[in-house]
Structure 1
Amino acid sequence: MPLLAISGLGAESSQFHVQGLYWLACDTAEDATLLCRQVVGGMPDHVRAALIADAPASAEVLGMLDAAQGPTELALYETNPKATLHLIDDLPRIDVPGRVLVLLAPADVWAGGNVERWCNAMRPVLLAEAALLLVISSGQSTGLVERLRAFNQGIDGLAQLYRGKGGVRYLQHFWSNQLGKIGTRDVELARLDAGFAVAGAPQLHSHTGGDELLYLAQRPVLEGAPAFSEHWQVCESLDELGAKASLAVSATVVFAMDGGQRLDSLARQLHRLRQLRGNALKLVVREMAPTLRYQDEQLLLACGASQIVPFGASLSRFLTMVESIQGYVWRRHLPSDFDALLARLRPLAICGMVAPRAFAEAVQTMWHGVRNGEIVHQLLVLRAAPGLTPLQACSRTVFRRDGDIACVVGDVLFLFLFACRAEGVEQALDHIFQLSWKELFISQEVLTGVDSLATSAFLEDSLPRPPMFDAAAQLPTQPRPALAPRRVALGKRGAA
């Protein structure tokens, strides 16, 4: 029984039917040659085999092959791109019945042709003659592989050998043999002198869809550069990107976020794709203008974003960041109700100093996002310096953001900062207090929950009156007389 001969791959992924058509697509000619030599060298003695390739490729495959390896009978047939496309016409001269044929050819042979038609013509003849054909194509061939992947009824097995995720990978799209049919599998390979072998324990990835190498991106994220490789497909609009992404399973989808795009629309798009296509899809948002605040980033991440590339990251840095999430599976919980999620991650329309009851009710409502692990808020207790009441300490405050509220309970000030990380507390206080808050307050405590807001002190509905100032200090000062120039005589130094 012919084998693919990649050590560690397992029989279900390495055995062939005795007749049929299989395809291995390699990114480089070097890898294709090594894999072809490994396949030929791993064939049993009794197999009647034939190698079809151009003269230099045949010499390279056989030149490094040990004489003791491979089948006893190996016929050699020289080909060129035109002959490869018309291989069906030459099969009668190859003595096909019962043979294992290995075709080594560059992928661009099929660039201008109809590979589906080629396979449709080839496979029935192979089945009728009880022959097996393994095509090993060389050169990046994303377009070719995508067509073959969609044409799975016309071939018995399809796999890719590519460079990515820090090494050499073997991506099996589908494979069938006498043991049954199996789907997508992506494993790391080690390159040895004798060929390729599975590195470590192989992993099955039933959640992937075979499009791991595909990148779908809005044009602005490329900063005017052309598509980086044929793995990249550039979309002119958000609608076009969404339509293509809705058919992907584990591709990388890159959205552009600029000042003219509505955040809620992008969040809804991410949420829809994550619901529709599952957790293997990599959803990346590149910030093209400084528009995203912390709470906006948390919304996008909660809606399914795998990564957010911040504004200011260079093109090379952006590519490095995107490469770093290859093989990543989104593992957060996706809420089913987008509108409820949006409500949890948006502040209430309330701001500034409020009554204790209003403060407690508002904070408990906005705290739901914290309970779900979707966002972080800060609830602070501040004690005023001696000689100051909390209201006096707050006499020069400016609240600019919805959701940032405060109230006075007893002799302390409660302050709630919506969507504020721990490292941003001091900066937030600098913005709210026009005077130095470090001098106004002697202590600052961060509460980790809202249980303290359930006490009777937070049932008070009235807003405390602002502090009274000394009336004398409020009297207008007497106007000073206008200044007028006057003549001054200066004596000469040394005069008697």
Structure 2
Amino acid sequence: MSPATDPNPNPQRAARARLRLNQALAVRGLPPSLATLATGRVYAVYASRSPARDALFWKTAANALLTPVNVLSTRAPGHIASALKQHGLDIDTPNIVHPRSNVCALKLSPTRDGCDLLMEALQGMSDQCASPASPFLIEGVAACFAWDNREKLLRQGAALADWCATTRHTVLMVMLPPLVEQGQGFLPLTDFQVQFAGAAQLVHVQGEYRWEVAFWRDHLDATAANESIPLRFSATDQHLVVSTESTTTPGMLAPDEGEVIVAHDVVARERTVPKGWRDLPNNESVVAEASHAIAATVILHYGIQENLATIAKQVNFLRRQCGKALKILIREDNVSIRYEHVLLTLGANAIIPRSTPLAQVQVTVDGVQGQLYSRPVPDDYRAALSAAMRDSTTGYVPAQRFIDLVREAVERSRPIRLPNVLLRLPLEPDVASLDALRACRIRRTGDLCTAAGDSLYVFFFACYVDDATKAMSRVFARPLAELFRGELRCGDRDAIAAMLDALQKEIAELPAPDYTGLIEPLLAEAPLGDASAPAEARMEVPTSTAPTPGELGDWSAGTSPDQSGASTAVLRPTPQRTRLPMKARV
């Protein structure tokens, strides 16, 4: 009869199989050379408190408790039982653990040397209750070692290694030394772990957990070194698994990746809220709740009452606080975000356009799962907003000032790659420059126009090239075909600079007329960053002061160029005599 069909398998073989459970780390897919614990050796794993560390240690402990093993932790007894239960083992259930296994809470004394206390605890358990050569799985004992005293630390590491070699007990320590917490890696710990059989670090890099191995000796004394392995969480039991390209079912970046946290206004007009979505009162509540998340999905609301500077601050805070695995979405409501590039630079994964049905929102949420935010995150959201701030000058300016202002705006936008568009619009032969300028009714601060030679030049700040057509249809009071023979559109920095250089050369040879006194100034468009003010207060006359973060306009708010926004008009400038150059006919 084959062993596979033998109803009475060899008890020694079964015992050896169970014994292997307490001599391997609970990481699925990890090669044996990086997971096996050799008898009578010390292994150190450095990791901060995280779901990954809990899964590594407590899942390893839960598996090992089916065999003779000793688990020690500096947590309270109730927390130890809770952690084991969370990872699949309820130690309060009768006969659930091996009768020769031990689970203990290690209480450190401020008046005793921590390493001496730890060694006494190990020796006491070895003498009284631990099975011979059984492993010790120890968590949270970083305070037992003298990390700031190199000579003492060396002696402590050597003493622990000698004890394991003498007693044949294997020790696995999972802890966070101050040196590792400060980002100094393995090198300062070389003396401490010189006699250990393995040292590895569980790190959180670019939004994913990785198993970084300095060196690791298995039970065959084979050594692996300098390994870096990406890890994921199983979607079924929160087990750590190795992530590979050949994996058919990719795991989660963190156990909370399936959570979706939304502000109430995001779903206020929907009939039902998708199952599993957590509906919180407002953006502030969402930010507070998500500040401890790792890979959850957050959906913030952007509507007529939201301030762009506030939501920019919230996005940047969440990205810097939670890392690159967190998914941050912003759903537009009633108004569109003209400065979506700023929010994407500050940490948002995507902007959900207004009028997007809920079913498509769910598709977007599903689409960002497993993604890592890849852009560099600015340290200060104010700097990014300042780069997006436009000069408050609006509408017509003389040609030389137009060149200077556009160059400043493009350079200011460069750090966050804010899009801008510069257009050269050749006039029809029978259209005068002054008539075309009067038909150009720019209201949005930062958008400019000028005239030189036979063309009009229009600059749209924070505008994509594809949106320039919509922008022109809004600012010109007459059909474009009546005014212009065509257009030359520039959207990248080099092309804009080349057009400005050509314009500079042209006005140097033939100065362009100044139409300032002949064009009626318009009231500036309402800044939609703070829409809580009454309607009559949302219109302002352009001033020379720089706008605040709340004064960011929006193309898609529905304000038409000829829409009157206030009952009082600005005073018309006193007419001045000027020579009107005749347009050359060709």
TM-score, scaled relative to structure 2:
0.49
- Please state how far the C-alpha of 1:249 moved relative to its aligned partner: 2.8
Q: 1:428 to 1:10 in 2, by over 3 A?
A: same
Is 1:463 matched up with 2:515?
yes
- Distance between the aligned counterparts of 2:31 and 2:353, measured in 1? 43
- Distance between the aligned counterparts of 1:276 and 1:198, measured in 2? 25
Identity of aligned residues (%): 21
The answer for the alignment partner of 1:280 in structure 2 is 325
Give the letter aligned to residue 404 of structure 1: D
- Please state how far the C-alpha of 1:406 moved relative to its aligned partner: 0.9
Give the letter aligned to residue 274 of structure 1: R
Over the residues paired in the alignment, what is the CA RMSD in angstroms?
4.7
The one of 361, 375, 381 equivalent to 1:338 is 381
SS of equivalent residue, structure 2 residue 400: helix
- Aligned ranges for residues 372-383 of structure 1 at < 5 Å? 372=415, 374-383=417-426
The answer for the alignment partner of 1:291 in structure 2 is 335
- Aligned ranges for residues 220-259 of structure 1 at < 5 Å? 220-223=265-268, 225=272, 228-229=275-276, 232-259=277-304
Is 1:11 matched up with 2:25?
no
Shifted more, 235-244 versus 379-388: the winner is: 235-244
- Aligned ranges for residues 95-494 of structure 1 at < 5 Å? 96-97=99-100, 128=130, 130=134, 185-186=231-232, 200-201=245-246, 211-223=256-268, 225=272, 228-229=275-276, 232-287=277-332, 289-293=333-337, 295-368=338-411, 370-372=413-415, 374-447=417-490, 448-454=495-501, 455=504, 457=507, 462-463=514-515, 466=518
Is 1:23 matched up with 2:59?
yes
| Partner deviation per Cα, 1:233-262 (whole Å, 9 max, x = no partner) | 443343332223222233222212222221
| Partner deviation per Cα, 1:145-182 (whole Å, 9 max, x = no partner) | xxxxxxx98xxxxxxxxxxxxxxxxx989999987999
| Partner deviation per Cα, 1:172-226 (whole Å, 9 max, x = no partner) | 899999879999711789xxxxxx99763579x9x96654333333233344745
Shifted more, 261-270 versus 339-348: the winner is: 339-348
Matched length: 343
| Partner deviation per Cα, 1:307-344 (whole Å, 9 max, x = no partner) | 11122222222111011011111122333342232132
- Distance between the aligned counterparts of 2:39 and 2:281, measured in 1? 47
- Distance between the aligned counterparts of 1:403 and 1:252, measured in 2? 35
Q: 1:98 to 1:400 in 2, by over 3 A?
A: closer
Asked if the contact 1:17/1:132 (under 8 Å) is kept, the reply is no
- Please state how far the C-alpha of 1:363 moved relative to its aligned partner: 0.9
Higher strand share: 1
Give the letter aligned to residue 231 of structure 2: R
- Distance between the aligned counterparts of 2:415 and 2:228, measured in 1? 38
SS of equivalent residue, structure 1 residue 450: helix
Q: 1:202 to 1:404 in 2, by over 3 A?
A: same
SS of equivalent residue, structure 2 residue 318: helix
Q: Which has the larger radius of gyration?
A: 1
Asked if the contact 1:8/1:202 (under 8 Å) is kept, the reply is no
Asked if the contact 1:213/1:251 (under 8 Å) is kept, the reply is yes
Q: Which runs of 5+ in 2 are unaligned?
A: 1-19, 41-55, 69-88, 103-124, 138-173, 176-207, 219-223, 236-240, 520-576, 578-586
| Partner deviation per Cα, 1:435-458 (whole Å, 9 max, x = no partner) | 221232113112322244352627
Q: 1:318 to 1:16 in 2, by over 3 A?
A: farther
- Distance between the aligned counterparts of 2:437 and 2:212, measured in 1? 71
- Please state how far the C-alpha of 1:306 moved relative to its aligned partner: 0.5
- Distance between the aligned counterparts of 1:197 and 1:355, measured in 2? 63
Give the letter aligned to residue 285 of structure 2: E
